[in-house]
């Protein structure tokens, strides 16, 4: 009898061992991809039409402000103050690239009309999307979104721009401009005396880099 009980007990123990499911292996959560650096998100030489050359100062925004201040102290001080405003709103990094058909246009204010062909791209990154959205609403380098319900001639706002809800564009040749917020980024593109296809390609290229 004792032998039978022992055999039954051993059988139950073996069955329990065989049915035990090993604990699941927990895979670590994938780390989020780092956000693009503004210097990588702005337009590069390979992104612009032939015949346009980069301006001295293209790159980190602080370098541009210092370079501009040496060329035109008044304009440099104004742009420096506008960048400081973005920093006060949470911008941690910024970069700008300028390409022109003549060096004289490198020190001109953005969106000013001249005969030169120009394309300018600016990108700033913020600590979080909320800061980026508030900065975009407050205005980037003096360019503020249109008042809701009011669209001046040549202005498109929202999804009709192709750049998302938080975006607006201005298209009155020779000047074309786009400003938008995406994720933790704020971007600005200003084009002078270039065709609509070039403008569209510039905004599409930058938007694809904003992660």
pLDDT confidence of 29, banded at 50, 70, 90?
A: low
pLDDT confidence of 114, banded at 50, 70, 90?
A: confident
> Mean pLDDT lowest for which of 98-102, 111-115, 171-175?
111-115
Tokens of 85: 């405003």
- Could you confirm whether domain 37-209 is CATH 3.40.1000? yes
What local confidence, expressed as pLDDT, does residue 12 receive?
38
pLDDT confidence of 26, banded at 50, 70, 90?
A: low
**Taking a C-beta distance cutoff of 8 angstroms, is the pair 178, 136 a contact?**
no
Name the pTM for this structure: 0.84
Q: For 92, left (φ over 0), alpha (ψ -120 to 50), or beta?
A: alpha
Q: Across residues 9-35, what is the average pLDDT? A: 53
Q: Does residue 114 or residue 159 have the better pLDDT?
A: 159
- To the nearest whole percent, how much of the chain has pLDDT over 90? 77
**Taking a C-beta distance cutoff of 8 angstroms, is the pair 41, 95 a contact?**
yes
Please tell me what DSSP assigns to residue 83: H
Please tell me the total number of residues recorded for the chain in this structure. Answer: 211
Report the C-alpha gap between 61 and 72 in whole angstroms. Answer: 16
Answer whether residue 2 shows pLDDT above 50. no
- For the chain, the domains span 37-209
What local confidence, expressed as pLDDT, does residue 181 receive?
97
DSSP string across 60-73: EHHHHHHHHHHH-H
Cβ neighbourhood burial of 188 (10 Å; 0-12, 13-18, 19+)? buried
Report the C-alpha gap between 74 and 84 in whole angstroms. Answer: 15
- To the nearest whole percent, how much of the chain has pLDDT over 70? 85
């Amino acid at each position: 009898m004792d032998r039978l009980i022992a055999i039954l007990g051993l059988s139950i123990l073996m069955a329990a061992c065989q049915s035990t499911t090993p604990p699941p292996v927990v895979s670590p959560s994938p780390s989020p991809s780092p956000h693009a650096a503004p210097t990588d998100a702005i337009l590069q030489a390979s992104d612009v039409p032939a015949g346009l050359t980069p301006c001295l100062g293209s790159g980190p925004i602080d370098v541009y402000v210092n370079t501009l201040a040496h060329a035109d102290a008044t304009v440099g001080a104004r742009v420096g103050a506008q960048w400081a405003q973005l920093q006060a709103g949470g911008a941690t990094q910024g970069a700008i690239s300028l390409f022109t058909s003549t060096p004289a246009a490198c020190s001109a204010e953005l969106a000013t009309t001249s005969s030169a062909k120009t394309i300018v791209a600016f990108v700033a990154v913020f600590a979080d999307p909320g800061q980026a959205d508030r900065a975009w609403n407050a205005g980037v380098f003096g360019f503020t979104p249109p008042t809701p319900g009011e669209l001046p001639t040549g202005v498109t706002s929202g999804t009709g721009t192709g750049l998302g809800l938080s975006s607006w564009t201005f298209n009155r040749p020779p000047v074309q401009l786009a400003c938008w917020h995406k994720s933790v980024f704020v971007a600005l593109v200003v084009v002078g005396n270039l065709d609509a296809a070039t403008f569209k390609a510039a905004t599409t290229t930058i938007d694809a880099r904003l992660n």
